[in-house]
Copies of this chain bind each other. A is one copy, B any other.
Amino acid sequence: MSDLTTNPRPPAAPPLTERQEARRRRILHTAAQLASRGGFDAVQMREVAESSGVALGTLYRYFPSKVHLLVATMQDQLQLMQSQLRKHPPSATDPGARVTETLMGTFRGLQREPQLAEAMVRALTFADRSVSAEVDQVSRLTAVLITEAMALDHPLSRDQLAAVRVIEHTWHSALVTWLSGRASIAQVRIDLETACKLLAE
């Protein structure tokens, strides 16, 4: 929407050399590793830099803030999940049930590394406008995840698109409540199932 004013990165980012690409991967890997034990607070920029064999200034050149770094980590993880899901698509027949199944599967994935999940989601919700392009990308990935789970042959109707948005809101907010210990996994499942009712017409 306001890419022209708010988005300094994507417009013609110069392609990275091989060494640079490697550095970037190394940084993301270190971040995920530190997050996996310790969560958000354990991802300390000095330590990320040192463990990645990179100077602090360089780290900040690649990721302009800790939040940017962790949101990029989330993009990474989401893409991983996506390729997993394409290999093992959900089995239910009803679209709503498939979406629930898919999202709960993703949930279990996050559950396996709860600290990593905490770090990424805290970053995502704490992000201010300077990260909106990257956050938007995460949102887009999530929407794709949901619509692929529906596995329809038609393009989505207007109502279905609206429903997908609400499901995404529910997914995201339920995740936050679970991470802060205010809802159980069972409750999250119920909330997702409720939201998925909107897919039936």
Contacts and interface: CB of A to CB of B under 8 A. Distances in A.
Interface of A: 1-2, 6, 40, 118, 122, 125-129, 131-132, 135-136, 139, 159, 162-163, 165-166, 168-170, 172-174, 176-177, 180-182, 190-191, 194-195, 197-198
A139 B127 CA distance: 21
A13 to B, nearest CB: 21
A40, A118, A163, A194 interface centre (most CB from chain B within 10 Å): A194
B126 A181 contact: no
A131 to B, nearest CB: 8
Contacts of A180: 127-129, 131-132, 135
Copies of this subunit: 2
Contact of A162 (B6, B135, B191): B191
Query: Closest 4 interchain pairs by CB?
Result: A125-B125, A169-B173, A162-B194, A169-B170
Interface of A is mostly: helix
A38 to B, nearest CB: 12
A45 B195 CA distance: 40
B132 A126 contact: no
Contacts of A1: 181-182
Nearest to A139: B182
Contacts of A170: 166, 169-170, 173
A27 B87 CA distance: 55
Contacts of A197: 198
Residue from A165, A168, A198 having most chain B Cβ neighbours under 10 A: A165
